[in-house]
């Protein structure tokens, strides 16, 4: 109880590394990645974290998501001094953050953990609705109007894309987004129908910029009959992005899960 | 081809009666019922219909829904001169109406059909989430935070409410909403759990003002342990609305279906 006694038991304020999982409805945000004066998810979470930890704190995502893209399980890491249980840190994120962004979990991890570099893969799901999406999911799927999709054709086309390939023909073309390694492995690419709803699910080692939306755009054109399934093989092998591959709208895309060993 | 010939075959512009089904996300509207200078679903649909039919046209709903309440299958009728297939009328509703309001079907019905008077019952579903609703359904359910619900208690309480009763104790109290017939028949009242999500489903002959949200509010308090299940019987029999019965938030409520013979 004396000052001398207190000095013998200093509060253990060690820097810890945290892994956090976050879900968001991307509709109202300008993507994940921090930008000057922009309403991005990273910026919002960093502003909140600075308040919680009483210190400017950078967070590191598993990767960016584009403006309008959603996430069920985006992962980020950060370092900070926090001596309460991580659960309290997760709960602290719930205040003064739009309720369309929800930090689902926070845990202490080894200091070697890196949300991007430690990831072994990612699962994305792209949601499509024939006809009009209902008022209850129109923020979360791409509505095709009167068009019908031939899912078997799409599945036939997908077979050309599964595996390890140079995906340049299915990536964005802006120089600042050039990926030094265009070779990615798609472990899974499935198309499933449930009534008027069609889902494209992909799991892969990594993705180039706009790759999932480009794969979805091309597969939708195959499903509409605009592209023959085999054409996807020719496009892939061309290693050139052309107007043959449209980029499907952001609203249909979810970053579903990031895999770690 | 002569004027005389045309006069012998006048365009058959007979007044027809139409039944329409509409789904809406009620979040951004001030309820169903038309109000002066208000953003209600009825007003929006009537404005659009006046344009389509080139004539001011009143629509008649199966009943009102409160501000913030959603519908998967609200029904309304109206009369108009329309010589194209009803499908085109349904499609015409898709323009210049917010996409959170969607007319799902329009059909020609007998002139005796009345959306309210011909209804034999309605199904409502109230959605609750323990913890936080995900960013993808937070507009469509009532989030309880850290509270857990005892669904078996709620089911025991519901047994007292099923059947034909005077539901004054579970209705709104504003004099202008007084129902001349407080005797309603609840044919079904079920509570089901799916993980952290709890649904209260009710089918009944009719409902008083705010009755479903009052039933939900009382059942939630039973599930929380704040009210004993048997207390619902005493409240029902009192025929007096008191603060013992809270009104659950509008956002969790869906008018799911209107029944007709």
Task: Show which of B56, B74, B109 is a domain's final residue.
Answer: B109
**Pair (A254, A156) in one structural domain:** yes
Kindly determine whether residue A135 and residue B99, on different chains, have CB atoms separated by under 8 Å.
yes
For residue A100, the domain's CATH number is 3.30.70.580
Query: Quick check: ipTM above 0.90?
Result: no
According to the model, what pLDDT value does residue A1 have?
A: 44
The pLDDT tens digits of the residues spanning A137-181 come to: 889 999 998 899 999 999 999 999 999 999 999 998 776 667 788
**Pair (A57, A156) in one structural domain:** no
Domain assignment present for B114: no
Per DSSP, B99 falls in state: T
B23 touches chain A (CB under 8 A): yes
Give B-chain residues touching A140 at CB under 8 angstroms: 136
* Single pTM value for the model: 0.85
**Pair (A99, A193) in one structural domain:** no
Q: Which of B102, B132, B136 sits opposite A25 (nearest CB)?
A: B136
**In chain B, alpha helices (H):** 3-8, 41-53, 86-92, 151-158, 211-224, 231-238
Domain assignment present for B183: yes
**Pair (B88, B127) in one structural domain:** no
Give A-chain residues touching B138 at CB under 8 angstroms: 99-100
CB A42 within 8 A of CB A34: yes
According to the model, what pLDDT value does residue B250 have?
A: 97
According to the model, what pLDDT value does residue A222 have?
A: 98
**Pair (A98, A139) in one structural domain:** no
Domain assignment present for A72: yes
Task: Show which of A48, A76, A109 is a domain's final residue.
Answer: A109
Q: What is the mean pLDDT of residues A11-17?
A: 78
According to the model, what pLDDT value does residue A36 have?
A: 85
Kindly determine whether residue B138 and residue A100, on different chains, have CB atoms separated by under 8 Å.
yes
The pLDDT tens digits of the residues spanning A190-236 come to: 999 999 999 999 999 999 999 999 999 999 999 999 999 999 999 99
Task: Show which of A84, A109, A134 is a domain's final residue.
Answer: A109
Kindly determine whether residue A135 and residue B100, on different chains, have CB atoms separated by under 8 Å.
yes
**Pair (B231, B124) in one structural domain:** yes
pLDDT band (50, 70, 90) for residue A127: very high
**Pair (B61, B131) in one structural domain:** no
Q: Detail the DSSP E strand segments found in A65-140.
A: 70-81, 101-109, 119-129
Cα distance between residue B149 and residue B193, in whole Å: 9
Domain assignment present for B70: yes
A29 touches chain B (CB under 8 A): no
Domain assignment present for B1: no
Q: What is the mean pLDDT of residues A52-67?
A: 96
Q: Is the pLDDT of residue A7 over 90?
A: no
Q: What share of chain B is helix, strand, coil (3-state, %, to 5)?
A: 25, 30, 45
Kindly determine whether residue B99 and residue A70, on different chains, have CB atoms separated by under 8 Å.
no
Domain assignment present for B115: no
The pLDDT tens digits of the residues spanning A78-115 come to: 999 999 999 999 999 998 999 999 999 999 999 999 99
Give A-chain residues touching B140 at CB under 8 angstroms: 136
**Pair (A38, A127) in one structural domain:** no
According to the model, what pLDDT value does residue B1 have?
A: 44
The pLDDT tens digits of the residues spanning B74-128 come to: 999 999 999 999 999 999 999 899 999 999 999 999 999 999 999 999 999 999 9
Give A-chain residues touching B25 at CB under 8 angstroms: 135-136
CA angle at A227 for the pair A133 and A26, rounded to the nearest 5°: 35
CA angle at B149 for the pair A23 and B128, rounded to the nearest 5°: 45
According to the model, what pLDDT value does residue A2 have?
A: 46
Please give chain B's pLDDT, 261 residues, in tens: 444 455 555 566 689 999 999 999 999 999 999 988 889 999 999 999 999 999 999 999 999 999 999 999 999 999 999 999 999 999 999 989 999 999 999 999 999 999 999 999 999 999 999 987 889 988 999 999 889 999 999 999 999 999 999 999 999 877 666 778 899 999 999 999 999 999 999 999 999 999 999 999 999 999 999 999 999 999 999 999 999 999 999 999 999 999 999
**Pair (A36, A163) in one structural domain:** no
**Pair (A103, A125) in one structural domain:** no
B-chain residue closest to A102, CA distance: B135
Chain A residues 96-125 within an 8 A CB cutoff of chain B: 99-102
Domain containing A140: what range? Answer: 120-260
CA angle at A89 for the pair A113 and B223, rounded to the nearest 5°: 125
Q: How many domains does chain A have?
A: 2
**Pair (A202, A250) in one structural domain:** yes
Kindly determine whether residue A134 and residue B102, on different chains, have CB atoms separated by under 8 Å.
yes
B145 touches chain A (CB under 8 A): no
User: Percent of chain A beyond pLDDT 90?
Assistant: 85
**Pair (A101, A131) in one structural domain:** no
For residue B163, the domain's CATH number is 3.30.70.660
Kindly determine whether residue A25 and residue B100, on different chains, have CB atoms separated by under 8 Å.
no
């Amino acid at each position: 109880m004396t000052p001398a006694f207190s000095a013998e038991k200093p509060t253990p304020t060690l820097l810890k590394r945290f892994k956090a999982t976050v879900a968001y409805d991307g509709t109202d945000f300008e993507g994940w990645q921090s930008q000057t004066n922009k309403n991005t998810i990273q910026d919002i979470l960093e502003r909140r974290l600075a308040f919680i930890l009483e210190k400017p704190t950078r967070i590191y995502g598993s990767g960016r998501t584009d403006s309008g893209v959603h996430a069920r399980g985006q992962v980020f890491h950060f370092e900070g001094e926090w001596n309460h249980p991580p659960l309290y840190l997760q709960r602290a994120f719930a205040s003064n953050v739009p309720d369309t962004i929800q930090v689902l979990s926070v845990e202490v991890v080894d200091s070697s953990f890196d949300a991007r570099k430690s990831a072994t893969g990612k699962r994305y799901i792209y949601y499509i609705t024939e006809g009009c999406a209902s008022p209850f999911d129109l923020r979360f799927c791409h509505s095709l109007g009167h068009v019908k999709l031939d899912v078997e054709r799409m599945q036939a086309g997908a077979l050309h894309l599964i595996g390890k390939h140079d995906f340049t023909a299915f990536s964005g073309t802006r120089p600042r987004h050039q990926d030094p390694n265009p070779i990615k492995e798609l472990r899974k690419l499935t198309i499933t129908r449930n009534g008027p709803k069609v889902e494209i699910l992909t799991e892969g080692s990594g993705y180039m910029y706009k790759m999932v939306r480009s794969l979805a755009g091309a597969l939708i054109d195959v499903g509409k009959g605009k592209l023959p399934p085999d054409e996807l093989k020719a496009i892939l092998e061309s290693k050139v992005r052309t107007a043959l591959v449209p980029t499907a709208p952001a609203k249909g895309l979810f970053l579903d899960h990031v895999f770690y060993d």
